[in-house]
Amino acid sequence: MRLTCPICGERDRREFYYKGDAVALSRPDPDAGEAAWDSYMHLRDNPAGQTRDLWYHASGCGAWIAVTRDTVTHEILKTELAGEAHNAAG
């Protein structure tokens, strides 16, 4: 598997650490309530198809990357720096 780090270019997946769903970018407010925090911490979809998750270029530049990929075809559809993805999410 190959991932394109927006800073370093295309690299082998062994250089990356996998965190999980990119929902981690959308941290609720401290007082958002139990349901919001429960959802943020624990509830995950398991899609057959498009998904977006966070990878860390641990053996590279240290960038956190939001990767959009397809769990069925294994196609990598998009990679972007997590900071930019976070700002875009607003």
Q: Nearest distance from residue 37's CB to another protein, in Å?
A: 6
37 counts as binding another protein under rule CB under 8 A: yes
Q: Nearest distance from residue 42's CB to another protein, in Å?
A: 9
30 counts as binding another protein under rule CB under 8 A: yes
Q: Which DSSP string corresponds to 1-44?
A: -EEEETTTEEEEGGG-EEEEEGGGGSPPPTTS-HHHHHHHHH--
Interface size with another protein, residues (CB under 8 A): 28
41 counts as binding another protein under rule CB under 8 A: yes
DSSP state of 63: -
